[in-house]
Amino acid sequence: MATASDELVTLQQGETVLLKGFDYLEFYVGNAFQAAHFYRNLYGFKPVAFSGLETGVRDRASIVLEQNDIRLVLTTALTPDHPITRHVSLHGDDVRDIAFTVSDAEAAYKTAIKNGAHSILPPTEFQDQRGSMLKATVAALGETVHSFIQRDSHFGGAFFPDFEYIENPPPVTPTGLTSIDHIAISVEAHTLNRMVDFYHEVLGFHESFSEDILTEYSSMNSKVVENASGAIKFPMVEPAPGRRKSQIEEYLNFHFGPGAQHVAFASDDIISSVRALRANGNEFLRTPESYYTVLKDRVGDFDEDAEALRDLNILVDRDEWGYLMQIFTKPVMTRPTIFTEVIQRKEARGFGAGNIKALFEAIERDQARRGNL
């Protein structure tokens, strides 16, 4: 049973759930086998479990991949008329479920519904001889959902009871990605405040940062919401009026609605991680050379080799708590939608506000090559 100190806290908007952290990200994809090959070879994720026809699941197939504290679930429909098929047809490969670990899924679900969330899956128990788990799901934004995952302390199965371990998985070279730092969300114009209110009122998140960005061609408004512990963070961005189409508008146009724009993976050694990711074939955005000529004047001293950061196009930013380093990939699929970030924090709590303009300008150069600026 949850207690006030463990699971439930009282906010101005009523009683809400204190979430522990990210449990997994489930992507709906066109081909789970090929997507798993991509994330294994380019990012160093290890395939650990699967479900599908072989495990008694008749309508879909899923592969679970892990690297340290990161868990990805890649799910594909097995029939052309399945809702997952329709989702992928509309949005492309896409983050469908951003799941949270909780100690009481039923309390989490009831609190979210009480605070205005719409139900997708009421608390449902999954059980086999190895233990049990409880899952409940609510709608979030667009077609993105949030699941509350409660695992029995004795559960020893492979992810969910209808999954089996992958025996003798292919070898993997890890890239040093340790956890999910944050997930950035793109929302339609004039909806940012409404989405911030949703996370505040339904899940008890608070707003921690706010930033408006303007370049020569485009602009955006952004706010960051996070849970009480800071383990779950969502920078949320909306397009603002500009001379041309922003990268946020490009995402919304090709994704056909709001959703997860990028996933930020944390690293304890970003230089080593980026070198490994580059060697595996990942393509990163390039930063103007002028950015590095004034880097130390702008952010002060840092521990890393400045030449290595320049060679790898890694950005640096400082806030009142410390500094961070970050880099962004190009879109991970043919559509210019979702991409990834690698970030290393040296006590910094922000999201690289000083780098966002440089990021926007780099993305705009790629947009121009695609004819979408």
Q: What tokens were used for 171? A: 């070898």
Output 269 or 229, whichever has higher pLDDT.
Answer: 269
pLDDT for 356: 67
Q: How confident is the model at residue 153 (pLDDT cuts 50, 70, 90)?
A: low
Q: How confident is the model at residue 218 (pLDDT cuts 50, 70, 90)?
A: low
Q: What tokens were used for 221? A: 């408004």
State phi, psi for 360 to the nearest 5 degrees.
-55, -45
Which residue is it, tokens 């199965």? 157
pLDDT for 354: 75
Residue 12 in this model has a pLDDT that exceeds 50:
no
Q: Give the three-class secondary structure for 270.
A: helix
Residue percentage of the chain with pLDDT more than 90: 71
Tell me the C-alpha distance between 15 and 11, whole Å.
6
**Low-confidence winner among 41-45, 110-114, 361-365 (lowest mean pLDDT):** 361-365
H/E stretch holding 91: helix 83-91
pLDDT for 151: 86
Residue 79 in this model has a pLDDT that exceeds 60:
yes
Mean pLDDT of the region 158-185: 93
The CATH number given to 9-165 is: 3.10.180.10
Mean pLDDT of the region 175-192: 97
Whether the CB-CB separation of 232 and 148 falls below 8 Å is answered with no
pLDDT for 25: 98
Residue 10 in this model has a pLDDT that exceeds 60:
no
pLDDT for 103: 87
177-370 and 9-165 share a CATH fold: yes
Which residue is it, tokens 């100690």? 103
Q: Which CATH architecture is the domain 177-370 placed in?
A: Roll (3.10)
Residue 142 in this model has a pLDDT that exceeds 70:
yes
pLDDT for 349: 93
**Low-confidence winner among 15-19, 43-47, 196-200 (lowest mean pLDDT):** 15-19
DSSP secondary structure string for all residues of 159-185: SSTT-EEPSSPPP-----EEEEEEEEE
Mean pLDDT of the region 347-358: 81
Cβ-count burial 288-320 (b if 16+ within 10 Å, e if not): eeebbeebeeebeebebeeeebeebbbbbbbbe
Q: Give the three-class secondary structure for 144.
A: coil
What mean pLDDT is reported for the chain? 89
pLDDT for 358: 61
CA 31 to chain centre: 20
| Residues 6 or more apart whose Cβ sits within 8 Å of residue 47 | 36, 40, 63, 64, 65, 166, 169, 170
Tell me the C-alpha distance between 358 and 78, whole Å.
42
Residue 253 in this model has a pLDDT that exceeds 90:
yes
Q: How confident is the model at residue 11 (pLDDT cuts 50, 70, 90)?
A: very low
Whether the CB-CB separation of 166 and 48 falls below 8 Å is answered with yes
Domain locations along the chain: 9-165, 177-370
pLDDT for 291: 82
Residue percentage of the chain with pLDDT more than 70: 88
H/E stretch holding 227: none
Q: What is the DSSP letter of 54?
A: G
Tell me the C-alpha distance between 295 and 117, whole Å.
44
Tell me the C-alpha distance between 233 and 351, whole Å.
10
Q: How confident is the model at residue 214 (pLDDT cuts 50, 70, 90)?
A: low
Residue 242 in this model has a pLDDT that exceeds 90:
no
Q: Is the dihedral of CA 150, 155, 160, 165 positive or negative?
A: positive
| Residues 6 or more apart whose Cβ sits within 8 Å of residue 322 | 345, 346, 347, 348, 349
Could you report the per-residue pLDDT of 291-320, keeping only the tens digit for each? 888 888 889 999 999 999 999 999 999 999
Residue 2 in this model has a pLDDT that exceeds 50:
no
Q: How confident is the model at residue 162 (pLDDT cuts 50, 70, 90)?
A: confident
pLDDT for 287: 85
Q: Give the three-class secondary structure for 235.
A: strand
Q: Identity (one letter) of the amino acid at 219?
A: S
Which residue is it, tokens 């809702």? 83
DSSP secondary structure string for all residues of 262-316: EEEEEES-HHHHHHHHHHTT--B----THHHHTHHHHH---SS-HHHHHHHT-EE
Residue 267 in this model has a pLDDT that exceeds 90:
yes
pLDDT for 150: 93
